[in-house]
Chains A and B, each alone.
Chain A
Amino acid sequence: MLGYTIKRLLQMVFVLWIVSVIVFLMMSFTGDPVFMVIPIDSTQAEIDQARRILGLDRSLFEQYLVFMKGMLQGDFGRSYVYRQPAMDLILERLPATMEIVVVAMIFAALVAVPLGVYAGANPNRTTSRAIMSGSLLGISLPSFWVGMMLIFLLAVQWQIFPSSGRGETVDFLGLKLSILTLDGWYHIILPSLTLSLATMAIILRITRAGMMEVMRQDYMKFARAKGVSRRGVLYGHGLRNALIPVVTIFGLQLGDLIAFATITETIFAWPGLGKLLIDSIYRADRPVIVVYLMLVAFIFVVINFLVDMVYTWIDPRITVK
């Protein structure tokens, strides 16, 4: 187990290194950040000076070494725009994104799994067909439209929820969190709902497919022959056997939402990572983009590791080696 963990950690480091190279090269070939940070009427001498200060006058290889050295020391560079460490900018906004994503994922799972179990256990019922049709909507409706509709109906027409912002936040262990205040919850609900719909639909469909497969198994009938209640058969014996693909998709979707909640955050003016990323791309704020991409890669790698751990917990036949 320890050996496996160490092996996985080394793998993670390797993946992150590859990502760093790709990210660095990509950034170097797109746009010249100098023109974003100096006044338009600067002289050539001023431009050269700015280049030197930013370290852009050196060779690509040298730049990479400086970049790597910085990273290894925990220095991810300073934002050209904000003149602050890029990492601080990211970490400041990460909790906001994590909040809506975690709420969205929990909401998606709580709704999708029971519905998926129901639809998989009773595939021919009208209710199941309605659920499946609904899930198609969830997959095919674009989130910007859903977000706008939610704002239009629930924030403008009926004014139940606020349309934008994060609401009141509370400091908790140095993080600013909205989920600890009622006002914060009011603000979280609409963006989380928007984020969760597609994931909900996908998880629902995967759960249903898994359950339909499981329903045919002998051990389900054997459990019934033991006198187990229908609920016990479905959730105690069936669901866990259908869970491996569900967990896989759940992990992928979690990473996806953290990385690309951008559109939803923009619509609801949610001050998370997505908005920072968009702003940074506009301004060619290279260090921020680099840290952002590295962080996303890191999150994906960690989630993958956790998903693999969950596999072994779900199914004793799966062992790590």
Chain B
Amino acid sequence: MAEAKPANAAAPETLLRVEDLRTWFHTFSGTVKAVDGVSFSVKRGEIMGLVGESGGGKSVVGFSILGLIDPPGKIESGAIEFNGENLKDAGDARLRDIRGRDIAMVFQDPMTSLNPLHTVGEQMDEMLRLHTDMDAGQRQARCVQVLEDVGISRAADRLKSYPHQFSGGMRQRVVIAIAMLAQPKLVIADEPTTALDVTIQAQILKLMRRQIRDNGASMILVTHDLAVVSEMADHITVLYCGKVVERGPTDDVIRRPSHPYTRGLIDSIPNPAHRMARLKQIPGAVPDIRKLPKGCNFQDRCPRVGTLCRESEPPLVATGARAHACHFPLKEGETE
């Protein structure tokens, strides 16, 4: 530990910096600007929540970082700087080294993210074969250890099992184990608990947080569930229609959101204090991302909309640790 500290101190505090990222999909029916000018950064050891509704471009951000955008998608512009290295222009060979070893991913649906024809052991071993020079015995030992870390008993036996012999929650544990195997610096978790039973969700989240903390890693937690983020994340970035609408330390943002969209998301979390009250929701739906309105993207669903909102798009304004993109931000304590 004493030796690790100076190295850590020498490394810059910021692990990942995404600057003005634009990832567009050129489809027959028009260009889908799934991610359109997103900026955020992730510090070492930090959990960053990336929040937004379905179709908000959250997953695309994760895939862009790893260079896993396939045609017709393309990273149009922006910068992705990981550990001081420009990932956007890194070659495929370099990216393959980074994937899994430095940045690992956890997918949404554990029922489909494991290959049904390979044993769990083979799929774990593959990761170590690619990214370490351990021999077969060491790899086996490491697999058993990590599998036990994620709470799978009789790990040595389970290595020989196929994914279909596991339940959904167990499979997600396996996926997390695979992600942690090579001790990545950053884990991108894309809706890691959405496909799971509610009873399992809390367990898996706790497990992920402990794994991240124990390994000194950082995490980007992509989710639509603000409740999950408020428990897990240190920082939060709210996306709407491919753009950042609000950003800041989690507690601060949850306690006094500036953007009406964030407010709406918070209000749609069931609150035990208002049991019998009708749950609030954000009116309308996410607009067609190919035909966004002039001005603010949120105008048609916003309770505070004014003429200015229909004319010009609000820029992202930073004040201290917070930032928001709204012409008429909420003041502290103000509801709507």
Contact = CB atoms under 8 A, between A and B. Distances in A.
Given A225-B66, A225-B104, A227-B97, A219 B115 contact: yes
Contacts of B118: 237
A78 interface: no
A228 interface: yes
Which of B71, B115, B130, B164 is packed against the most chain A CB atoms within 10 Å?
B115
B114 A222 contact: yes
A222 B123 CA distance: 10
Contacts of B117: 240-241, 314-316
B100 A317 contact: no
Given A218-B107, A316-B117, A225 B112 contact: no
A227 B115 contact: no
Interface in A189-231: 217-219, 221-230
A224 B71 CA distance: 15
B93 to A, nearest CB: 9
A226 B113 contact: no
B131 interface: yes
Interface string B264-308: 000000000000000000000000000000000000000000000
B68 A224 contact: yes
Given A217-B112, A218-B113, A316-B117, A227 B107 contact: no
Query: Which range holds the interface residue count of chain B?
Result: 20 to 34
B98 interface: yes
Q: Is the interface of A mostly helix, strand, loop or mixed?
A: helix
Contacts of B127: 226-227
B32 interface: no
A225 B105 contact: yes
A221 B69 CA distance: 10
Contact of A227 (B71, B108, B131, B175): B131
A30 B100 CA distance: 70
B43 interface: no
Given A217-B112, A219-B114, A227-B100, A316 B162 contact: yes
A219 B68 CA distance: 13
Contact of A221 (B68, B96, B126, B164): B68
Nearest to B181: A226
B97 A223 contact: no
B48 to A, nearest CB: 18
B326 to A, nearest CB: 34
A179 B115 CA distance: 40
B96 A225 contact: no
B309 to A, nearest CB: 38
Contacts of A317: 116, 162, 164
A229 B93 CA distance: 8
Contacts of A224: 68, 99
Interface of A: 124, 217-219, 221-230, 236-237, 240-241, 314-317
Interface of B: 66, 68, 71, 92, 96-101, 104-105, 107-109, 112-118, 126-127, 130-131, 162, 164, 175, 178
29 contacts: A124-B71, A217-B112, A218-B108, A219-B116, A221-B107, A222-B115, A222-B175, A224-B99, A225-B68, A225-B99, A225-B100, A225-B105, A225-B107, A226-B100, A226-B126, A227-B96, A227-B98, A227-B100, A227-B127, A228-B130, A229-B96, A236-B126, A240-B117, A241-B115, A241-B117, A314-B117, A316-B117, A316-B164, A317-B162
